[in-house]
Structure formats: structure tokens, C-alpha cells
A and B are shown apart, each in its own frame.
Chain A
Amino acid sequence: METHSYFPVPPGVGMEENFLSLDDILLSHERLPSRTECTFPRLGFLEKSSDSRDIQEGTKMEMPLFLAKGLYERKRRVVSVELPKVYKEGWRTVFNADPTVVDLHKMGPYYYGLGSQLLHFDSPENPEIAQAVLQTFIGRFRRTMDSSQNAYNEDTSALVERLDYLERALFRAGQSGLNSFQNWERGRASTITASSLVLNYRKRKITDLQP
């Protein structure tokens, strides 16, 4: 079994973000439909649809999560954030009906992460969003766990295709556990193996040579 000594900074849990985590940085770059509630002078060039020098009050724009989080204030209305469609009532009903049929990779891929982050914005629907995200996870977890524990030595791309980012990480953890266990059972756990880093590096070098 390959041993890893590279452990990236883990993403934050729940509503927290981990400052140095690459996953969380990518998550907080997801765009949210939002509306400006005051004028932003001199930033008109960011908004391609109008020629105005300023971003006018009431402009609808897609704002990255980190910016919406930074600008959002409870007391003073600077921006208001709308829900992306997967968290809206309509989709929540779909998730309620059968969470396992939804392609979360296409809908997200940070469905759970973004859903938790949305709770930072005071929306009346917050409790329902939290509930929907949790129930979706519960509904899908069993299948994710099951498939990760039973796919040994086979192509898993079809299994992970529709999984959200968080679920993929869980799937990988399950697979690595399964592989280690199988190795141990066959008495191969004590074999010293070449570092996967070295092997992958060599693989890449060969492909680099080919035009």
C-alpha cells in the first residue's frame, strides 16, 4: 500500500473556512447571484453590461462568495445575496424526493460547502437550507460508503462521477482503507513500495516527451 506524507491543509468544517486550504479558496470563489444595495463609485469597469463609471445601486451581478461575505453587513445593506437555484424551494423538493439521483458534481461541485457558507447571509430560508443540505448528505452517504467499500480493483470513475467534492474525499478515504486492508490480508502490508510521488513523476516525464 502506498504511503503518503503529503497532507494538504484540510478544508474547514461547517460554516468555518480554513484560511490556507486550497479547497476552501476554490469554494469561496463560487459565484452567487447578488444585487448591490448601494452605489460603488469608480468600479463601473467591472460590470461589463453598462458603460457607467460607477456600479449603480440595484445592479444584479454574479459575485464571488468571498466578496459577498466581505461586503455583507447585517445592519447596513450593501449587497443582498440571492440563493443559487439548487438551494431554492424547487430543487429542495427534488432533493427531498430522492437525493441519490441528483448529479451533485454538475450542480456543485461544492454543494455542501456552499450550502453551509450561505448560512452566513441572513436569509429567512436558512433553516430550510441547512435541513435540506443535511438530509441530502444523510440520504446519499450510505450509497457513497457502500460503493467505496465494495469497488476493489476496478474502474471507479463511474461511481464518483456524480459525487460532490466532499463525497469524493470520503470515497477516496474509503478506497484507501479498503486497499490497505486487502494488502494486509494478503500479507503484503510489510512490502516496501516505491513512493507514489516518484512513480507519478516518472510517468509524467514520459508523457512530456511524447508530442
Chain B
Amino acid sequence: MFCEKAIEIIRELHRMGDGQLPAFNEDGIRQVLEEMKALYEQNQSDVNEAKSEGKSELIPTIKFRHCCLLRNQRCIAAYLYDRLLRIRTLRWEYGSVLPTNIRFHMCAEELEWFNQYKKSLATFMRSLGGEEGLDITQDMKPPKSLYIEVRCLKDHGEFEIDDGTIILLKKNSQHFLPRWKCEQLIRQGVLEHIMS
């Protein structure tokens, strides 16, 4: 049957229901596009034949192929769109710099889209809240205090806070840090927020 490859790439994406980004299935996309090309060419020649020789019995076949063509188109559009949604999430979860292994899962166009999205978001955030702008990816939960207690989950190296003090983030060490400085690191799993 037609459209088998298209549903396969959709299944592959659907299986990762929690928003992770699987590797871009370039090969799958290419095969679907090839099938679409073949369907289009066969239809084109059948349409010409139906027109010139008045073979109206070909019409059901043409319609059949056309449905499959539209179906493939829908699958590819949905595949790409869903990936964009996931990539957009990465900006909010990981921050503006992505780990290399995730970048490897994106195709060139997706990387470009990510960079453009980053830029749009940065421009928007600069336009808010007067001179300095406002980082809207901060304080996703309303803060209760300026400083919070955190524990290091892995060696992260040196870390500079507002007053110029440099802190060594060593595994299992505990610190009392400005909340807005470490929120991102907590999201990334480097630090752990301790509630007393």
C-alpha cells in the first residue's frame, strides 16, 4: 500500500511522547518525497490519457493516487511542524545554547529556524521592561525569596555571581545563591533546589 513510509516516520515521532527530539529522519523523508513524485507522474500521464482518449474509467485510479499524494503531504507537514514545536521547547528548557548531541539530531534548516527563534525571542525580551529588558524565561514559578539553597549534582567548574565572587561548583557542595542566577542551572540538572 502507499503511504507506509510516511506513517512510519509519524509513528517514530509519536513514540517519543514526552517531547524529546529524535534524530531527523532524512532518509524517511526522502523516500516519502520519492513516492510522491512517482504518484504525481503516474497521475499526470493518466490524466493526459483520460483527457485525450476520453478514458473516464481511469478517474477512480487518479483519485486514489491523489488521496495518497495528499496523505503523504499531510504526514510530512505534520512531522516537520511537530518537530518545530519540540525544538521551540528546547529553547525554554535548555536555554539558548543546546548540548551538541541534541544539535546533531537537527537538520540544517531546523538549526537555522532555532537560531531565528532565539533571535526573535531575544528581541522581544529586550523590548520589555524599560532599558535592560526582561528575561521572560526566568521565574516560571513565582519566587518567594531572592536567595535559595542549592546542592551541586555534578562538577560544573567556577561560577561568578553578581558581586564578583567566584564560587566553585563541586559535586555535593551546598551553596546559598541568588535565585535568578541558578534557575537555569537547576532546569539543566546541574544544581538541585533544597527546601528546608
Whether B64 pairs with A71 at a CB distance below 8 angstroms is yes
B133 within 8 A of A: no
13 contacts between A and B (CB under 8 A): A6-B18, A6-B89, A20-B77, A20-B82, A22-B10, A25-B7, A25-B74, A41-B58, A46-B2, A188-B195, A195-B188, A198-B93, A205-B101
Name the B residues within 8 Å of A191 (CB-CB): 193, 195
Residue contact A197 to B89, C-beta cutoff 8 Å: yes
Residues of chain A lying within 8 A (CB to CB) of residue B11: 26
Q: A66-B67, A190-B141, A197-B18 are in contact. Are A8 and B82 (CB under 8 A)?
A: yes
Q: Which of A3, A9, A66, A192 has the most CB of B within 10 A?
A: A192
Contact flags (1/0) for B1-45 with A, using CB distance below 8 Å?
111000100110110011110000000000000000000001000
User: Contacts A46-B1, A64-B1, A198-B187: A41 and B85 contacting too (C-beta < 8 A)?
Assistant: no
A192 near B78 with CB under 8 A, answer no
Q: How far is the CA of A206 from the CA of B102 in the complex (A)?
A: 15
Interchain nearest-CB distance for B2 vs A (Å): 8
Residues on the A chain within 8 Å of B14, using CB? 22-23, 26
B141 engages A25 (CB within 8 Å): no
The answer to whether B60 and A198 have CB atoms under 8 Å apart is: no
Whether the pair B189, A199 counts as a contact (CB closer than 8 A) is yes
The answer to whether A9 touches B60 (Cβ under 8 A) is no
Task: Give every chain B residue within 8 A of A6 (Cβ-Cβ).
Answer: 18-19, 85-86, 89
Q: Which of B7, B70, B140, B144 has the most CB of A within 10 A?
A: B7
Q: Does A75 contact B (CB under 8 A)?
A: no
Distance from B180 Cβ to chain A, minimum over Cβ atoms (Å) = 11
Is B106 positioned at the interface, with any CB of A under 8 Å from its CB?
no
**Interface size classification for chain A:** 35 or more
Contact call A196/B78, Cβ cutoff below 8 A: no
**Bound CA span A57–B68, Å:** 20
- Asked, given contacts A8-B82, A71-B64, whether A26 binds B93 with beta carbons under 8 Å apart, the answer is no
Which parts of B74-102 form the interface with A (CB within 8 Å)?
74-75, 77-78, 81-82, 85-86, 88-90, 92-94, 101-102
**Interface pair B89/A71, CB less than 8 Å apart:** no
Q: Is there a chain A Cβ closer than 8 Å to B61's Cβ? A: yes
- Within the complex, what minimum Cβ distance (angstroms) separates B14 from chain A? 5
Which residues in B have their C-beta under 8 angstroms from that of A29?
3, 7
B142 A25 Cβ-Cβ under 8 A = no
Q: Does B122 contact A (CB under 8 A)?
A: no
List chain A residues, Cβ under 8 A from B187. Answer: 192, 194-195, 198
In addition to A9-B82, A70-B63, A78-B63, 12 A-B residue pairs with Cβ atoms within 8 Å of each other are: A5-B19, A6-B18, A25-B78, A26-B11, A41-B57, A64-B1, A66-B71, A190-B142, A190-B143, A192-B187, A200-B20, A205-B101
A67 cross-chain contacts in B, Cβ below 8 A:
64, 67-68, 71
Verify if B183 is at the interface (C-beta below 8 Å from A).
yes
**Chain A residues within an 8 Å CB radius of B193:** 191-193
Q: Is the CB of A4 within 8 A of B19?
A: yes
1-49 of chain A: CB within 8 A of chain B:
3-9, 19-23, 25-26, 29, 38-43, 46
Q: Which residue of B lies closest to A29 (CB)?
A: B7
